[in-house]
Amino acid sequence: MVLASGSPRRAAILRRLGIEPDVRPADVDETVGAGESAADLVERLATAKLTACADVPPPSSQPVLIIAADTVVEVGGSILGKPEGKADAERMLALLSGRRHRVITGLAVGLLDSNEGGSPPLQVSARETTEVTFRTLDRELTDWYVGTGEAFDKAGGYGIQGRGALLVDRVDGSYSNVVGLPVVALDELCRSLGWPLHRFAGGPDGAPTAEAQAGVGA
Protein backbone atom coordinates (compact mmCIF):
# COMPACT_ATOMS: atom_id res chain seq x y z
CA MET A 1 0.00 0.00 0.00
CA VAL A 2 1.22 3.48 -0.91
CA LEU A 3 0.31 6.53 1.20
CA ALA A 4 0.43 9.67 -0.97
CA SER A 5 0.92 11.95 2.03
CA GLY A 6 3.80 13.17 4.13
CA SER A 7 1.60 13.49 7.23
CA PRO A 8 3.18 11.53 10.10
CA ARG A 9 -0.26 11.35 11.74
CA ARG A 10 -1.84 9.54 8.78
CA ALA A 11 1.04 7.07 8.64
CA ALA A 12 0.74 6.53 12.41
CA ILE A 13 -2.98 5.75 12.11
CA LEU A 14 -2.25 3.08 9.50
CA ARG A 15 0.55 1.62 11.62
CA ARG A 16 -1.80 1.36 14.59
CA LEU A 17 -4.02 -0.75 12.34
CA GLY A 18 -1.06 -3.03 11.64
CA ILE A 19 -0.34 -1.57 8.19
CA GLU A 20 3.13 -0.36 7.20
CA PRO A 21 2.60 2.02 4.24
CA ASP A 22 5.09 3.00 1.58
CA VAL A 23 5.04 6.75 2.23
CA ARG A 24 5.33 8.83 -0.96
CA PRO A 25 4.33 12.47 -0.37
CA ALA A 26 2.66 14.17 -3.33
CA ASP A 27 3.19 17.89 -3.94
CA VAL A 28 0.14 19.63 -5.43
CA ASP A 29 -1.10 23.21 -5.69
CA GLU A 30 -3.48 23.69 -2.75
CA THR A 31 -4.90 27.06 -3.86
CA VAL A 32 -8.62 27.31 -3.17
CA GLY A 33 -10.65 27.79 -6.34
CA ALA A 34 -13.06 30.70 -6.70
CA GLY A 35 -16.30 29.79 -4.94
CA GLU A 36 -14.97 26.34 -4.04
CA SER A 37 -16.42 24.79 -0.88
CA ALA A 38 -14.21 23.18 1.74
CA ALA A 39 -15.66 19.73 0.96
CA ASP A 40 -15.08 20.11 -2.79
CA LEU A 41 -11.56 21.42 -2.15
CA VAL A 42 -10.35 18.50 -0.04
CA GLU A 43 -11.79 15.85 -2.36
CA ARG A 44 -10.22 17.58 -5.37
CA LEU A 45 -6.83 17.84 -3.64
CA ALA A 46 -6.92 14.20 -2.50
CA THR A 47 -7.63 13.11 -6.08
CA ALA A 48 -4.81 15.35 -7.36
CA LYS A 49 -2.39 13.80 -4.85
CA LEU A 50 -3.45 10.34 -5.94
CA THR A 51 -2.78 11.17 -9.58
CA ALA A 52 0.56 12.82 -8.81
CA CYS A 53 1.73 9.78 -6.85
CA ALA A 54 0.52 7.38 -9.56
CA ASP A 55 2.69 9.16 -12.15
CA VAL A 56 5.73 7.47 -10.56
CA PRO A 57 4.45 4.01 -9.62
CA PRO A 58 6.57 1.98 -7.20
CA PRO A 59 8.17 -1.18 -8.59
CA SER A 60 5.97 -4.19 -7.93
CA SER A 61 4.89 -7.38 -9.67
CA GLN A 62 1.35 -6.76 -8.37
CA PRO A 63 -1.15 -3.92 -8.79
CA VAL A 64 -0.68 -1.22 -6.17
CA LEU A 65 -3.29 0.36 -3.91
CA ILE A 66 -2.66 4.08 -3.42
CA ILE A 67 -4.46 6.19 -0.82
CA ALA A 68 -4.44 9.98 -0.57
CA ALA A 69 -6.08 12.48 1.75
CA ASP A 70 -6.38 16.18 2.45
CA THR A 71 -7.87 17.83 5.55
CA VAL A 72 -9.05 21.35 6.34
CA VAL A 73 -10.99 23.07 9.11
CA GLU A 74 -14.03 25.17 8.18
CA VAL A 75 -15.55 27.72 10.57
CA GLY A 76 -18.07 30.40 9.73
CA GLY A 77 -17.42 30.01 6.02
CA SER A 78 -13.64 30.38 6.40
CA ILE A 79 -11.33 27.54 5.34
CA LEU A 80 -8.35 27.04 7.66
CA GLY A 81 -5.31 25.13 6.50
CA LYS A 82 -1.97 25.05 8.33
CA PRO A 83 -0.87 28.24 10.12
CA GLU A 84 1.85 30.24 8.41
CA GLY A 85 3.40 31.31 11.70
CA LYS A 86 2.77 32.25 15.32
CA ALA A 87 0.37 35.12 14.58
CA ASP A 88 -1.62 33.00 12.15
CA ALA A 89 -1.90 30.16 14.69
CA GLU A 90 -3.15 32.62 17.30
CA ARG A 91 -5.68 33.99 14.78
CA MET A 92 -7.02 30.51 14.03
CA LEU A 93 -7.36 29.57 17.69
CA ALA A 94 -9.21 32.84 18.36
CA LEU A 95 -11.63 31.99 15.53
CA LEU A 96 -12.25 28.52 16.96
CA SER A 97 -12.51 29.53 20.62
CA GLY A 98 -15.91 28.71 22.12
CA ARG A 99 -17.33 27.71 18.73
CA ARG A 100 -18.28 24.64 16.74
CA HIS A 101 -16.35 23.99 13.55
CA ARG A 102 -16.12 21.30 10.91
CA VAL A 103 -13.10 19.12 10.14
CA ILE A 104 -13.39 17.89 6.55
CA THR A 105 -11.16 15.26 4.95
CA GLY A 106 -11.14 14.32 1.30
CA LEU A 107 -10.12 10.75 0.48
CA ALA A 108 -9.04 9.19 -2.80
CA VAL A 109 -8.11 5.55 -3.36
CA GLY A 110 -6.82 4.05 -6.60
CA LEU A 111 -5.78 0.63 -7.83
CA LEU A 112 -2.84 1.06 -10.19
CA ASP A 113 -1.36 -1.40 -12.66
CA SER A 114 2.31 -1.49 -11.69
CA ASN A 115 3.37 -1.25 -15.34
CA GLU A 116 1.51 1.98 -16.05
CA GLY A 117 1.73 5.55 -14.79
CA GLY A 118 -0.90 8.27 -14.81
CA SER A 119 -4.35 8.23 -13.30
CA PRO A 120 -5.27 4.83 -11.82
CA PRO A 121 -7.86 3.10 -14.05
CA LEU A 122 -9.83 2.22 -10.91
CA GLN A 123 -10.26 5.04 -8.42
CA VAL A 124 -12.87 6.27 -5.96
CA SER A 125 -13.15 9.32 -3.72
CA ALA A 126 -15.24 10.67 -0.86
CA ARG A 127 -15.26 13.25 1.89
CA GLU A 128 -15.85 12.91 5.64
CA THR A 129 -17.02 15.63 8.03
CA THR A 130 -16.72 15.77 11.83
CA GLU A 131 -18.06 18.56 14.02
CA VAL A 132 -15.77 19.73 16.83
CA THR A 133 -16.64 22.16 19.61
CA PHE A 134 -13.85 24.16 21.24
CA ARG A 135 -13.69 25.37 24.80
CA THR A 136 -13.50 29.11 25.30
CA LEU A 137 -9.76 29.74 25.32
CA ASP A 138 -8.17 32.29 27.60
CA ARG A 139 -4.93 34.06 26.76
CA GLU A 140 -2.80 31.88 29.00
CA LEU A 141 -4.02 28.64 27.44
CA THR A 142 -3.63 30.02 23.91
CA ASP A 143 -0.10 31.28 24.57
CA TRP A 144 0.86 27.97 26.15
CA TYR A 145 -0.47 25.91 23.25
CA VAL A 146 1.10 28.04 20.52
CA GLY A 147 4.34 27.94 22.50
CA THR A 148 4.44 24.14 22.36
CA GLY A 149 4.94 24.35 18.58
CA GLU A 150 2.27 21.71 18.03
CA ALA A 151 -0.02 24.04 16.07
CA PHE A 152 2.16 24.78 13.07
CA ASP A 153 1.80 21.70 10.85
CA LYS A 154 -1.88 21.01 11.44
CA ALA A 155 -5.05 22.23 9.74
CA GLY A 156 -6.82 24.73 11.98
CA GLY A 157 -3.75 25.14 14.16
CA TYR A 158 -4.37 22.29 16.61
CA GLY A 159 -3.85 18.55 17.03
CA ILE A 160 -6.54 16.74 18.98
CA GLN A 161 -4.34 13.67 19.44
CA GLY A 162 -1.74 15.69 21.37
CA ARG A 163 -1.76 18.66 23.70
CA GLY A 164 -4.59 20.11 21.63
CA ALA A 165 -6.96 17.71 23.41
CA LEU A 166 -7.08 20.36 26.15
CA LEU A 167 -8.73 22.76 23.70
CA VAL A 168 -11.61 20.51 22.65
CA ASP A 169 -14.89 20.21 24.52
CA ARG A 170 -16.82 17.85 22.21
CA VAL A 171 -16.43 15.72 19.06
CA ASP A 172 -19.42 14.65 16.98
CA GLY A 173 -18.41 12.12 14.36
CA SER A 174 -15.21 10.33 13.43
CA TYR A 175 -12.33 11.04 15.84
CA SER A 176 -9.74 9.66 13.40
CA ASN A 177 -11.02 12.17 10.84
CA VAL A 178 -10.01 15.02 13.17
CA VAL A 179 -6.52 13.50 13.30
CA GLY A 180 -6.47 13.42 9.48
CA LEU A 181 -7.55 9.98 8.25
CA PRO A 182 -11.13 8.71 8.78
CA VAL A 183 -10.46 4.98 8.87
CA VAL A 184 -14.03 3.68 8.42
CA ALA A 185 -14.65 5.93 5.39
CA LEU A 186 -11.26 4.88 4.00
CA ASP A 187 -12.07 1.21 4.54
CA GLU A 188 -15.36 1.62 2.65
CA LEU A 189 -13.50 3.03 -0.36
CA CYS A 190 -10.91 0.25 -0.21
CA ARG A 191 -13.69 -2.35 0.02
CA SER A 192 -15.33 -0.90 -3.09
CA LEU A 193 -12.12 -1.78 -4.97
CA GLY A 194 -12.04 -5.26 -3.48
CA TRP A 195 -9.33 -4.66 -0.87
CA PRO A 196 -10.56 -3.94 2.68
CA LEU A 197 -7.93 -2.53 5.00
CA HIS A 198 -7.74 -5.57 7.24
CA ARG A 199 -6.14 -7.54 4.40
CA PHE A 200 -3.07 -5.32 4.70
CA ALA A 201 -2.84 -5.62 8.46
CA GLY A 202 -0.78 -8.24 10.20
CA GLY A 203 -2.33 -11.40 11.60
CA PRO A 204 -2.42 -12.32 15.30
CA ASP A 205 1.36 -12.76 15.34
CA GLY A 206 1.95 -9.43 13.61
CA ALA A 207 3.11 -11.04 10.34
CA PRO A 208 1.53 -10.03 7.01
CA THR A 209 -1.53 -12.05 6.13
CA ALA A 210 -1.36 -14.52 3.27
CA GLU A 211 -3.89 -12.42 1.36
CA ALA A 212 -1.71 -9.31 1.66
CA GLN A 213 1.38 -11.21 0.54
CA ALA A 214 -0.39 -12.69 -2.47
CA GLY A 215 -2.46 -9.67 -3.43
CA VAL A 216 -2.07 -5.96 -3.98
CA GLY A 217 1.48 -4.70 -3.74
CA ALA A 218 2.63 -3.45 -0.35
Q: What is the pLDDT of residues 113-157, one digit of tens each?
A: 765 555 666 899 999 999 999 999 999 999 999 999 999 989 999
Between CA 199 and CA 203, with CA 200 as vertex, the angle to 5 degrees is: 75
* The pLDDT of residue 29: 86
Distance of CA 92 to the CA centre of its chain: 20
CATH number of 2-214: 3.90.950.10
The mean pLDDT of 30-38, rounded to a whole number, is 88
pLDDT on residue 119: 60
Q: Kindly name the residue from 70, 138, 143, 169 that is annotated as catalytic.
A: 70
pLDDT higher than 70, residue 57: no
**The total number of residues written for the chain in this structure:** 218
- Show the 3-state SS of 175-197: HHHHHCCCHHHHHHHHHHCCCCH
- Is the pLDDT reported for residue 56 higher than 80? no
Residue 70 falls in the annotated catalytic set: yes
Could you report the per-residue pLDDT of 88-115, keeping only the tens digit for each? 999 999 999 999 999 999 999 998 876 5
**31-35, 153-157, 174-178: segment of lowest average pLDDT:** 31-35
**Averaged confidence pLDDT in the chain:** 88
pTM to 2 decimals?
A: 0.87
Of 105, 67, 69, 21, nearest to 193 by C-alpha is 67
